[in-house]
Amino acid sequence: MNGVHDMGGLQDMGPVQREEEEPVFHAAWEGRIYGISSSLRAMGKWNLDTWRHQIELLPPVDYLRMTYYERWLKINEQLLVKHGLVTPRELATGTPDPGSAKAVPALTAAVAARRLGRRIPSSHDPEVTPNFKAGERVRARNTNPTGHTRLPRYARGKAGTIVRDHGVYTFPDTNAHFQGEKRQHVYSVSFSARELWGEDASPRDSVHLDLWDDYLEHA
């Protein structure tokens, strides 16, 4: 989806604002929504791609106005309702509906202590053959899918060089919509700054993107 989240190349967002001695969480609620989000995702009702796409579906004005964890709060509320785990009434009142079933939390303290970060399956899969190899010239497809994608607009239609085959990964464009994992090779593709941004860009600079087989064609 061509959305405001796909920001690479915008120029009107102002200077980067830094904060000295920045805390990990700026308020206790940020840590709690972080934990809630991880706990809910551990239930397996939605995957990381679905989760990312839900953030992309925020109205653009809200997306830009909200802080990072305000977005997390909003989309976890939305996902809970969308997947039938919580009713809109429960969300509004903060108490379970009468007769609401009691579940068992998927993420316990013991599991949380062992598990940091994301669980990604092995990228080694000899069953899946790559379409490209290191050194080959490729072009990122000119495509405008209306769902989730990890091919940024600024690279579409541009030519680059495969520098490395990262192995096999789940395809976010289908996985986000529960249309299958469609596992395929992901490559580090190097694009020259001039190819991406024109002749005013530095002749020495480059941007590397990690791109799935389905995003690429031979150049």
**Cβ closer to other proteins: 152 or 217?**
152
Judged by CB under 8 A, the stretch of 33-41, 129-137, 174-182 that binds other proteins is 33-41
Q: How many residues bind other proteins (CB under 8 A)?
A: 99
Range 85-144, binding other proteins (CB under 8 A): 85-86, 88, 90-96, 100-105, 107-109, 111-123
Using rule CB under 8 A, residue 20 touches other proteins: no
Please check whether residue 38 is in contact with residue 51, taking contact to mean a CB–CB distance below 8 angstroms.
no
The b-or-e profile of 98-111 (16+ CB within 10 A means b, else e) is eeeeeeeeebeeee
The b-or-e profile of 124-137 (16+ CB within 10 A means b, else e) is eeeeeeebbeeebe
Instruction: Give the whole-angstrom CA distance, residue 53 versus residue 106.
Output: 22
**Cβ closer to other proteins: 131 or 190?**
190
Instruction: Give the whole-angstrom CA distance, residue 148 versus residue 57.
Output: 9
Judged by CB under 8 A, the stretch of 128-136, 173-181, 188-196 that binds other proteins is 188-196
Range 36-65, binding other proteins (CB under 8 A): 36, 38-40, 43, 52, 55, 57-59, 64
Using rule CB under 8 A, residue 174 touches other proteins: no
Tell the smallest beta-carbon distance from residue 129 to other proteins (Å).
Answer: 18
- The single residue among 125, 137, 212, 219 that binds other proteins, judged by CB under 8 A, is 212
Please check whether residue 191 is in contact with residue 206, taking contact to mean a CB–CB distance below 8 angstroms.
yes
Gyration radius of the chain over CA positions? 20
**Cβ closer to other proteins: 97 or 219?**
97
Give the list of residues 6+ apart from residue 24 with CB closer than 8 angstroms, or none: 31
